[in-house]
Structure 1
Amino acid sequence: MPRCIPIKEIKNTTEFARIVEESPEPVIVTRNGREAFAAMSIELLDAMRMERARAELYRLLDEAEEASRDGRVVDARDSIKRTRDRYGL
């Protein structure tokens, strides 16, 4: 469960940074009892970015496999030749 901290308690930035860096989840900062923003460690941010990139890669692979099954493919040599012809390469 994410940790929630009232905004008035982040005046001690050193302590707040320690809490964020040690938390396995984003730390939710509240204002007037409502969620205002979240803070997270760089490690957690990098892990989330990697997870998003991995999900996008799997989506693209699924799309490519579907195109292949449906016959929506072209020979690589033909594709390269058409690209070269189109752009005068």
Structure 2
Amino acid sequence: MPRIIPIRDLKKTSELSELCREAKEPVFITKNGYGDMVIMSMETYEKTMLMNDIYRKLDGAEQSIAKGEVVDGFESIRKIREKYDL
């Protein structure tokens, strides 16, 4: 379940840092009852960015397949073996 805290709690920096590390997901900050910011630990940020990169690459691969921009795997391996005399 997402953690939601009011902006006034940003003053408690040590507690907030610990909360972000424990949550292992973004922590939502509200201002006057409305969403204002999102913060997270560096570990969570890095994992999120890694997953975004993976999804972006998968999407690109699926688009290439849909366009027919594919190469036969066995043919590719055969060419590599010929090129490098393997």
- TM-score when scaled to structure 1? 0.69
Q: 1:67 to 1:31 in 2, by over 3 A?
A: same
Structure 2: tracts of 5 or more residues without a match = 71-86
CA distance in 2, matches of 1:18, 1:69: 48
CA distance in 1, matches of 2:19, 2:53: 27
> Is the partner of 2:24 in helix, strand or coil?
coil
What do you get for the CA RMSD once the two structures are aligned?
1.8
Q: Residue by residue, what CA displacement relative to the aligned partner does 1:23-62 show, whole Å, maximum 9, x if unpaired?
A: 1221111111111101001111111111111111111211
Structure 1 or 2, whichever has the larger Rg, is 1
Count of aligned positions: 70
| 2:50 counterpart residue number | 50
Q: 1:68 to 1:18 in 2, by over 3 A?
A: same
CA distance in 1, matches of 2:2, 2:69: 43
Q: 1:67 to 1:5 in 2, by over 3 A?
A: same
> Is the partner of 2:68 in helix, strand or coil?
helix
